[in-house]
């Protein structure tokens, strides 16, 4: 079996001079790498590229991010303060909001958002604008790589025409590839360099050069035949998760009605050493991948006249979870002789996953809005998110409150949406009257005086 390192050494016949020159720069690590977008994907990539020895230009339109990086300040706390401090002191890293600085980059990697539009259609505006920006500085011998999640055909069908309008020819003058990001914020045991990477170019020379680059930054790199294969593989990864989460969410609703604990069921099924992988229910999907990426493929399928019924059904189930959770809160309050209207409800955890401050697409936003629409007096506690930031669809004017025995005594229901490790669950169990738990966070806690309702 050919390893990634061995694959990277494959040299195409009749290699263009521009490819040979860039290959030499990459091998000697004299190539300058430009990373466009310094968020949850771009900044960790900057670290990996910088740590491997390349000079790096980090570009972002957000001048505040650039200012903070120059000062060594950290705006993505799960990455640790050491990262930004080290970058600020390095003579191999330059943060900038000047797009013309990318002219000095030999490799330009685009790490920009790919959200959904108002009708759940792909929004490629960030990708297209970034590609146009790269086109303005495109020169002979540059490699452009897209890392943003998108539907198959984006790199070749959308980016390539923009870049070739410069008069340069892909595969001869410049090179273009796709390599999907696989970041998992909050998992301290893995880093960008330790997560295996996929690489597929729009031509063989582009793939060769992308392999040449990434194998010097990432521990394991897997070559695929085309950019379209890499684009589709990324979607499959996240659709797989979305569908299986939808399955356990649907089982949760069913088994709850049958008075069976879905969490214990998943734990029991997990004892099978083959043919089963555990997925866990929750209050809805969050983050920038699983709630969004499946719809990129379902939209593309409709464009070519096909339906993706499995994907659509999974999306429908997962989108209903916030409403189901709020109904469980209302039912639990009703059992205590109280109405949702006028009840004091404390939401615990608003980030989309444990132990990060990332609220992108967090189900907490819809849960809180539904609670407010039902007349509840809502507060929240999240030590990692002191103020609820403005979101595309939500503008929730709340700040995190502290936990204490006295404050919990004034709460009619505690709703656990995100189970951060830093939350004092023992205090919740001792002092709250009612806890609606969407994450099984109270399992294993002792000395619980509160009534626990799973949702």
Report d(CA 234, CA 232) in Å as an integer: 5
* Residue pair 107/55 in contact by the 8 Å Cβ criterion: no
| Exposure class string for 301-319: b at 16+ Cβ within 10 A, else e | beeeeeebeebeebbebbb
Residue 344 is inside which H or E element, if any? Answer: strand 344-348
In the numeric block, the tokens 């991010």 are attached to 65
* Residue pair 174/144 in contact by the 8 Å Cβ criterion: yes
- Residue 56: CB partners within 8 Å, gap ≥ 6? 32, 33, 34, 35, 46, 49, 50, 92, 93, 94
In the numeric block, the tokens 């407010």 are attached to 372
* Residue pair 168/28 in contact by the 8 Å Cβ criterion: no
Active-site residue, selected from the candidate residues 289, 370, 414, 428: 289
Q: Length of the chain in residues, anyone?
A: 455
Cα Rg, the chain, nearest whole Å: 24
* DSSP string across 150-199: --TTHIIIIIHHHHHTTS--BTTTBEEEE------TT-TT--GGGS-EEE
Beta strands in 38-123 (DSSP E): 56-59, 93-96, 107-110
What is the phi-psi region of residue 14: left when phi exceeds 0, alpha when psi lies from -120 to 50, beta otherwise? left
- At residue 134, the 3 state secondary structure works out as helix
289 assigned to active site: yes
* Residue pair 89/72 in contact by the 8 Å Cβ criterion: yes
Beta-strand pair 175-178/197-201: antiparallel
Task: Take residue 105 and report the two structure tokens written for it.
Answer: 């980059």
**Cα dist from 437 to 12, 307, 421, 454, whole Å:** 57, 36, 15, 5
Q: List active site positions.
A: 289
């Amino acid at each position: 079996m050919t390893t990634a390192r061995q694959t990277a050494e494959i040299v195409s016949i009749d290699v263009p001079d521009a490819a040979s020159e860039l290959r030499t720069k990459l091998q000697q690590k004299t190539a300058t790498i430009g990373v466009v977008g310094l968020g949850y994907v771009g900044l960790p990539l900057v670290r990996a590229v910088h740590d491997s020895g390349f000079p790096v230009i980090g570009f972002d339109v957000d001048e505040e991010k650039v200012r903070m990086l120059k000062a060594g300040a950290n705006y993505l706390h799960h990455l640790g303060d050491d990262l930004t401090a080290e970058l600020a002191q390095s003579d191999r890293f330059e943060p900038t909001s000047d797009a013309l600085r990318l002219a000095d980059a030999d490799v330009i990697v685009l790490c920009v958002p790919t959200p959904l539009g108002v009708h759940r259609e792909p929004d490629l505006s960030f990708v297209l604008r970034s590609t146009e920006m790269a086109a303005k500085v495109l020169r002979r011998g540059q490699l452009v790589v897209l890392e943003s999640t998108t539907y198959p055909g984006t790199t070749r069908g959308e980016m390539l025409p923009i870049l070739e309008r410069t008069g340069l020819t892909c595969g001869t003058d410049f090179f273009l590839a796709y390599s999907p990001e696989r970041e998992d914020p909050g998992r301290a045991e893995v880093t960008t360099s330790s997560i295996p990477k996929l690489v597929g170019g729009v031509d063989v020379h582009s793939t060769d050069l992308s392999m040449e680059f990434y194998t010097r930054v990432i521990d394991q790199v897997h070559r695929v035949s085309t950019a379209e294969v890499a684009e589709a593989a990324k979607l499959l990864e996240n659709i797989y998760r979305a569908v299986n989460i939808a399955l356990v969410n649907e089982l949760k609703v069913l088994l709850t009605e049958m008075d069976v604990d879905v969490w214990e069921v998943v734990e029991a099924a997990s004892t099978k050493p083959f043919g089963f992988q555990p997925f866990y229910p929750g209050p809805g999907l969050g983050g920038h991948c699983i709630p969004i990426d499946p719809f990129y493929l379902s939209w593309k399928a409709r464009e070519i006249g096909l339906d993706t019924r499995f994907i659509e059904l999974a999306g429908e189930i997962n989108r209903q979870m916030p409403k189901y959770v709020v109904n469980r809160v209302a039912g639990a309050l009703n059992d205590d002789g109280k109405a949702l209207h006028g009840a004091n409800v404390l939401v615990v955890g608003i980030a989309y996953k444990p132990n990060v401050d990332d609220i992108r697409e967090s189900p907490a936003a819809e849960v809180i809005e539904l609670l407010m629409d039902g007349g509840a007096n809502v507060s929240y506690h999240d030590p990692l998110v002191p103020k609820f930031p403005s979101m595309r669809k939500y503008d929730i004017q709340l700040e995190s409150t502290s936990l204490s025995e006295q404050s919990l005594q004034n709460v009619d229901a505690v709703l656990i949406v995100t189970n951060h490790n830093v939350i004092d669950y023992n205090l919740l169990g001792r002092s709250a009257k009612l806890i609606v738990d969407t994450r099984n966070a109270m399992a294993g806690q002792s000395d619980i005086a509160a009534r626990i309702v799973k949702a």
